[in-house]
Amino acid sequence: MRIDVVSIFPGYFDALELSLLGKAKSRGLIDLRVHDLREAAHDKHRTVDDTPAGGGAGMVMKPEPWGEMLDGILADSASGSAGSESVPDGGAEPLIIFPSPAGDVFTQRMARELAEERHLVFGCGRYEGIDQRVFDEYAERGRVRLVSIGDYVLNGGEVATIAMIEAIGRLLPGVVGNPESLVEESHEEDGLLEYPSYTKPAEWRGREVPPVLLSGNHAAVERWRREQRIERTRRVRPELLPEELREA
Ligand code: ADE
């Protein structure tokens, strides 16, 4: 998959060099390209923002640098500079995602959908946001989504983009070593939260690993884990419980 990110703080994305995602990148499974929006601002101060039309507090990101940057990325994408051959070829046209608290809420389901794309472009806004005409322009020319990672406000789209790239990236074939570990996780399959995990020693500070996990009885372990998932989901996120598990 090819992923382009546009930001005035490209340094944020150094974090994606670490761990599984970094490995996926160096193995060519993810072709990540981070662009500094200021490279497309040509005045002496490389200005990317200006005062809001109509007045009010804060600053708004100017449309021209965004236009130049996104035009360049789209032209490059169209010229056939795709990502890895080994990932599914979703809509050939890139999908531009603008992280925004005003967008559709990002979920595991959305991560799975986005993992099917060939090319994602993340446009990270700062300040009070980006001039609306940028969204309108690219929505008319192609595919654009505003996506929120939750009901809270960040200072910009960078951290939200990192969260989305990690959630999407780990679903790409070959990124996570053991694909089974993707299946049992919270929000996958049946929508239940994960069961609690334990390792050795069998006792730590007087706290024991639940004996069933040391029983060697595979069926009993599976039963216990499922009960734990249901109990935890009922307690923490009752709205996620499937209909048949809800108490009347
Ligand atoms: N930018 C600021 N807050 C955000 C949020 N909650 N999700 C995505 N992008 C954002």
> Helix, strand or coil for residue 238?
helix
User: How confident is the model over 2-22, as a mean pLDDT?
Assistant: 96
Residue nearest to atom 5 of ligand 1 (CA): 101
Which tens digits make up the pLDDT trace of 167-190?
999 999 999 988 777 776 766 678
- In this prediction, residue 133 carries a pLDDT of 98
Q: If DSSP codes are grouped into helix, strand and coil, which group holds residue 64?
A: helix
Note the pLDDT tens digit of each residue in 45-99.
999 999 999 999 999 999 999 999 999 999 999 997 554 444 455 558 999 999 9
Residue 116 pLDDT > 80: yes
Identify the helix (H) or strand (E) that includes residue 216.
none
Closest by CA to 97, choosing from 138, 147, 62, is 147
Residue whose CB lies within 8 A of the most ligand 1 atoms, among 12, 126, 154, 155, for a mutation test = 154
Q: Across the chain, how many H-helices and E-strands are there?
A: 7, 9
Best mutation site among 107, 135, 153, 164 for ligand 1 pocket (most ligand atoms within 8 Å of CB):
153
Cis, peptide link before residue 201, omega less than 30° from 0: yes
User: Which residue matches tokens 């965004």?
Assistant: 66
Model pLDDT for residues 180-221, shown as the tens digit of each residue:
777 767 666 788 999 999 999 999 999 999 999 999 999 999
The residues, any chain, with a CB within 8 Å of residue 42's CB and separated by 6 or more, are: none
- 36 pLDDT band, cuts 50/70/90, is very high
CA dist 154 and 161 (Å) reads: 11
Whole-prediction pTM: 0.92
Residues flanking ligand 1, CB < 6 Å:
99-101, 148-150, 152-154, 157, 160
Contact residues for 98 (Cβ-Cβ < 8 A; gap 6+): 122, 123, 125, 130, 135, 144, 145, 146, 147, 157
Q: Which of 164, 165, 131, 127 is nearest to 148 (CA)?
A: 164
**Which pLDDT value is given to residue 72?**
98
Q: What is the pLDDT of residue 81?
A: 56
Tell me how far apart the alpha carbons of residues 90 and 76 are, in angstroms, rounded to a whole number. 17
Q: What is the mean pLDDT of the chain?
A: 93
Give the model's pLDDT for residue 187.
67
Phi/psi at 229 (5° precision): -65, -45
Nearest one of 95, 114, 101 to 147, comparing CA atoms: 101
Task: Kindly report the number of other CB atoms within 10 A of residue 2's CB atom.
Answer: 21
Q: Quick check: 19 pLDDT over 70?
A: yes
